[in-house]
Chain A
Amino acid sequence: MHILRALIRHPSGRIGGAIILLLLIAAICGALGLTPHDPIKAFPPDRLKPPSATYWMGTDLLGRDTASRLMLGIGLSFIVAFASVICATIAGTVIGLFAAWWGRPWDGIFMRTMDVLLAFPAILLALLIISIVGPGPMTSIVAIAIVYTPIFARVVRGPALSLKHREFIDAARTFGSSESYILTRHLLLNLIAPLTVQFTLALAWSLLTEAGLSFLGLGTQPPSPSLGLMLSESRNLMQHAPWLMLFPGLTVMIGVLGFNLTGDALRDILDPRTQERGA
């Protein structure tokens, strides 16, 4: 709770938080069907209308309302971004924790595998997975999760290695505490701060990666809208209907900005040096 309060007090936390909240509200409305118009059904008479009072962000080639499609698209993009980052966080934390805890040779095996994964571009990995299971949001989630797992593994392993040699871990051993107790209460609990920061920042990147994958037609499939897909569809109409590109593009940019600002704010707030002052 006090983290939330500190976030509101932090200038960039306030802006970032407001952006994310706004996008979340839009996404929830989109998912609940509370859109101004039907985002999927074509309505040819009103094709390629510029932004107006009826169609706030104009309409596309099939006469669908851009604003409504955007609201639905934000939701789909967010689901992919969140799901993939949550998977990456869990996988990365487990791998990083065990690499640090077990030490050699597992440390080397795990972390070198992570290095190899880190060398893969997300798009290339997605292509590989798509060639096996076909395109779709699930494919994007899996691909993005795999690409971001090494980052979390590294974020966890470093601090875990230094925590492992702290005296309170030795103390826990002298009580005869079980390994699972030490790993969760002593290691993981102290890793929450770096993980939270990394989680927020990774959301920004994965939002961008999802847009990229959809843009190439590897992620969300039409007629479902997603930010990247909408950008991709607007490509050929750039000169006739610039609003089709402008609004999804702006949304991606603002979304990434929001997560980055929040991540920066969280890093400041959770930094023990600034925390001391508040204590």
Chain B
Amino acid sequence: MTSLLSVKDLHVGFGRDARANEVVSGVSFELQAGQTLGIVGESGSGKSVTALSVNRLVDFGGGRITAGKITLERAGGDVLDLTSASRHQLRQMRGRDIGMIFQEPMTSLNPVHTIGRQIEEAFRINRGLHGRDSVDAAREVLERVRIPDAQSRLGYYPHQLSGGMRQRVMIAMALASAPRLLIADEPTTALDVTVQAQIMGLLTELRDETGMAMIFITHDIGLVAGIADQIMVMQNGVVVEQNDTSSVLDNPQHDYTKHLLEAVPHFSSGQSARNDGKRATGVEPVVAVDDLVVRFPTGKSWLHKGGAVHAVDGVDFDLLPGETLAIVGESGSGKSTAARAMLGLVGKTRGRIDRSTGAEHRPIQMVFQDPYASLNPRLNVESLLAEPAIAAGHRKDQTLRERMTFLLEKVELSADALTRFPHQFSGGQRQRLCVARALMLNPEILVLDEAVSALDVSVQARVLDLLVELQQEFGLAYLFISHDMAVVERIAHRVAVMYAGQIVEIGDAASVLANPQHSYTKRLISAVPMVGQRKRHYTLDHTQIPSLVRAAGYEPPAARWREVGADHQVRIEEPA
């Protein structure tokens, strides 16, 4: 049996001298119908370029295939050599034989057309359907990607849909031509973990229904475990390991694969939660947050009193010295807003944030998600690190320089970094700079807002270790905001789960992660991808996050709590 797609010794280069600037060198693989190939690698490993070479989209990015052969068996049975195909043949091939979905569903959809029109266009071009037929086909395909109420959704614009819905629309468009091969380039990276599980479930179901082959590109080796038949691990444009899924995961041969498998934070349902620094009773908390409420008014005009977005609605927690409280939740759950309110970056509507009344005043500091955006590109490291001290009224003198060098050493950067600029550092180094800067004022509490989310997995692991070391050395209390349960398990002593602006479950990390009580916590934890789970069956559900826009004067019902363990409380779910 000939394979659907066969890639032999593929070399792809960029720029004027494509042979000299090779990004992919010597990639070969075979893919049968109905099979899934997972390509795993960190940023810059050449995984996306490999996939884009298959449908020759790489040409539009300035890339050139310098050597190798890509052959695709087309629907009629004839074999097409994609490296030498004419532009006309390529255009026919794209869409009809090979469909593609991208990482960012908002930018891949045209914002000025309704999704119905965009799907109909796909049918018109690829299947020659017109008028009524194309509308019917669009509705059908939306139903196939499990979008409820498909008929009325056809008239929606992309911005009216959630991220997960938009990705479903993208999948629907790719399906419009009944492709024999679907290339999915990090299709779930921009999505929340429960939505990710939905999309993964949908993709496996569709693959089994249609018998199409799939190339699944991801940086998350745990995610690919649940869907792929074969795995190809790439590093610096070279395939370092390639085999069927179980062999690669259970018996990795190459050091880099082993390293990736180790570095990926494995989620183990609370078993690997930290057991240092258990809560002691009778210790004065460094901060106690009581009934924190943040609301943003909407659509207010002088004629009509508008409602408000209840971003944070009645949040209570406290933080002991040297303790990590992780706040987990999905986008829009209000976790970042709560953190920002603590630092005064957003105004709170009401509530109290009580700081301990110690002798010395140690401030709260914050580390942000994006290490590229949180450092001013025009200032050198010395000016960047000096800023908090200058703001606190210190002068740039010898003592201050010594403190900078000391902290740079603590975050494992050399002292000659002082004269360099942010763009001369890698993402992980920048994030360590941000940590050093936040420590300049010797804070008591560090708020880490998705501080490791933008980093590659191996870098992420090192930063996490560093954070734990620093916490022990300086006695820092961390408020760790994250959506990633596996990362949270590594660093948190306690976990608070936020959903729709409210804490629904809070307590000891091991207890919450091992024994989740609230239905949302359960959903969140079951959606976490795990290396141990192969050929995973995802069940589809359509639970929607409730709208946070409330009428003026609305107050949520008072929370009632149920004690689960010594330090584990869950909010009692009110029937809606």
Whether the Cβ atoms of A168 and B375 lie closer than 8 Å is yes
* Complex Cα–Cα for A148 and B235 (A): 53
Whether the Cβ atoms of B391 and A279 lie closer than 8 Å is no
* Complex Cα–Cα for A178 and B391 (A): 7
Min CB distance A187 to B, Å, is 10
Stretch binding the partner chain, chosen from B376-384, B471-479, B556-564: B376-384
* Chain A residues, CB < 8 A from B370: 167
* Complex Cα–Cα for A172 and B384 (A): 10
Q: Out of A168, A174, A192, which one reaches B345, CB within 8 Å? A: A174
* Chain B residues, CB < 8 A from A223: none
Whether the Cβ atoms of B376 and A186 lie closer than 8 Å is yes
Is the CB of B21 closer than 8 A to any CB of chain A?
no
* Complex Cα–Cα for A172 and B378 (A): 14
Known: A170-B345, A181-B390, A279-B423. Is A175-B374 also a contact (CB below 8 A)? no
* Chain B residues, CB < 8 A from A185: 376, 379, 383, 387
> What is the number of residues of chain A that contact chain B, defined by CB distance less than 8 Å?
20
Min CB distance B30 to A, Å, is 38
Measured CB to CB, the nearest residue on chain B to A186 is B376
Whether the Cβ atoms of A175 and B388 lie closer than 8 Å is yes
* Complex Cα–Cα for A176 and B343 (A): 10
Binary CB contact string for chain B from 311 to 348 against chain A (1 if under 8 A, 0 otherwise)? 00000000000000000000000000000100111000
* Chain A residues, CB < 8 A from B366: 170-171, 174
Whether the Cβ atoms of B391 and A171 lie closer than 8 Å is no
Measured CB to CB, the nearest residue on chain B to A191 is B378
Is the CB of B368 closer than 8 A to any CB of chain A?
yes
Whether the Cβ atoms of B377 and A171 lie closer than 8 Å is no
Q: Out of B373, B387, B388, which one reaches A166, CB within 8 Å? A: B373
Binary CB contact string for chain A from 140 to 178 against chain B (1 if under 8 A, 0 otherwise)? 000000000000000000000000001110111111111
Whether the Cβ atoms of B373 and A176 lie closer than 8 Å is no
* Complex Cα–Cα for A167 and B424 (A): 19
Q: Out of B345, B364, B391, which one reaches A177, CB within 8 Å? A: B391
Measured CB to CB, the nearest residue on chain B to A275 is B423
Is the CB of B365 closer than 8 A to any CB of chain A?
yes
Known: A186-B376, A189-B376, A190-B377. Is A171-B392 also a contact (CB below 8 A)? no
* Chain A residues, CB < 8 A from B344: 173
* Complex Cα–Cα for A186 and B375 (A): 10
* Chain B residues, CB < 8 A from A171: 366, 368, 374-375, 434, 437
Known: A177-B387, A181-B391. Is A170-B368 also a contact (CB below 8 A)? yes
* Complex Cα–Cα for A279 and B422 (A): 11
Whether the Cβ atoms of B392 and A176 lie closer than 8 Å is yes
Min CB distance A44 to B, Å, is 60
Min CB distance A243 to B, Å, is 49
* Chain B residues, CB < 8 A from A279: 423-424
Is the CB of B417 closer than 8 A to any CB of chain A?
no
Measured CB to CB, the nearest residue on chain A to B423 is A279
* Complex Cα–Cα for A195 and B502 (A): 46
Known: A174-B366, A175-B441, A185-B383. Is A168-B376 also a contact (CB below 8 A)? yes
* Complex Cα–Cα for A176 and B390 (A): 9
Whether the Cβ atoms of A177 and B390 lie closer than 8 Å is yes
Tell me what chain A mostly uses at the interface: helix, strand, loop, or mixed: helix
Whether the Cβ atoms of B365 and A175 lie closer than 8 Å is yes
* Complex Cα–Cα for A248 and B368 (A): 58
State which residues 252-279 of A face B: CB under 8 Å: 276, 279
Min CB distance A279 to B, Å, is 5
- Please indicate which of the listed interface residues B343, B368, B376 has the most CB atoms of chain A within 10 Å of its own CB: B376
Binary CB contact string for chain B from 551 to 575 against chain A (1 if under 8 A, 0 otherwise)? 0000000000000000000000000
Whether the Cβ atoms of A190 and B345 lie closer than 8 Å is no
Whether the Cβ atoms of B392 and A168 lie closer than 8 Å is no
* Chain A residues, CB < 8 A from B373: 166-168
Min CB distance A88 to B, Å, is 23
- Please indicate which of the listed interface residues A166, A168, A172 has the most CB atoms of chain B within 10 Å of its own CB: A168
Whether the Cβ atoms of B392 and A175 lie closer than 8 Å is yes
* Complex Cα–Cα for A276 and B423 (A): 9
* Chain A residues, CB < 8 A from B343: 173-174
* Chain B residues, CB < 8 A from A178: 391
* Chain A residues, CB < 8 A from B378: 189-190, 192
- Please indicate which of the listed interface residues A167, A176, A178, A186 has the most CB atoms of chain B within 10 Å of its own CB: A167
* Chain B residues, CB < 8 A from A181: 387, 390-391
* Complex Cα–Cα for A168 and B437 (A): 12
* Chain A residues, CB < 8 A from B368: 167, 170-171
* Chain A residues, CB < 8 A from B375: 168, 171
* Complex Cα–Cα for A176 and B345 (A): 11
* Complex Cα–Cα for A166 and B422 (A): 15
Measured CB to CB, the nearest residue on chain B to A166 is B373
Whether the Cβ atoms of A167 and B391 lie closer than 8 Å is no
* Complex Cα–Cα for A181 and B365 (A): 18
* Complex Cα–Cα for A98 and B564 (A): 54
Binary CB contact string for chain B from 440 to 470 against chain A (1 if under 8 A, 0 otherwise)? 0100000000000000000000000000000
* Complex Cα–Cα for A167 and B384 (A): 13
Measured CB to CB, the nearest residue on chain A to B368 is A167
* Chain A residues, CB < 8 A from B345: 170, 173-174
* Chain A residues, CB < 8 A from B388: 175-177
* Complex Cα–Cα for A192 and B377 (A): 12
* Chain B residues, CB < 8 A from A190: 376-378
Measured CB to CB, the nearest residue on chain A to B378 is A189
Listed from nearest, the 3 A-B pairs whose CB atoms lie closest are A175-B388, A167-B374, A177-B391
What residues make up the interface of A, taking CB atoms closer than 8 Å to B?
A: 166-168, 170-178, 181, 185-186, 189-190, 192, 276, 279
What residues make up the interface of B, taking CB atoms closer than 8 Å to A?
A: 340, 343-345, 363-366, 368-370, 373-379, 383, 387-388, 390-392, 423-424, 434, 437, 441
* Additional 14 contacts, C-beta under 8 A, given A181-B391, A192-B378, A279-B424: A168-B375, A170-B366, A170-B374, A173-B344, A174-B343, A174-B345, A175-B365, A175-B387, A176-B363, A177-B391, A185-B376, A189-B376, A276-B423, A279-B423
Q: Can you list 25 residue pairs at the A/B interface with Cβ under 8 Å?
A: A166-B373, A167-B368, A167-B373, A168-B375, A168-B376, A170-B340, A170-B345, A172-B391, A173-B343, A173-B345, A174-B364, A175-B387, A175-B392, A176-B391, A177-B387, A178-B391, A181-B387, A181-B390, A181-B391, A189-B378, A189-B379, A190-B376, A190-B378, A276-B423, A279-B424
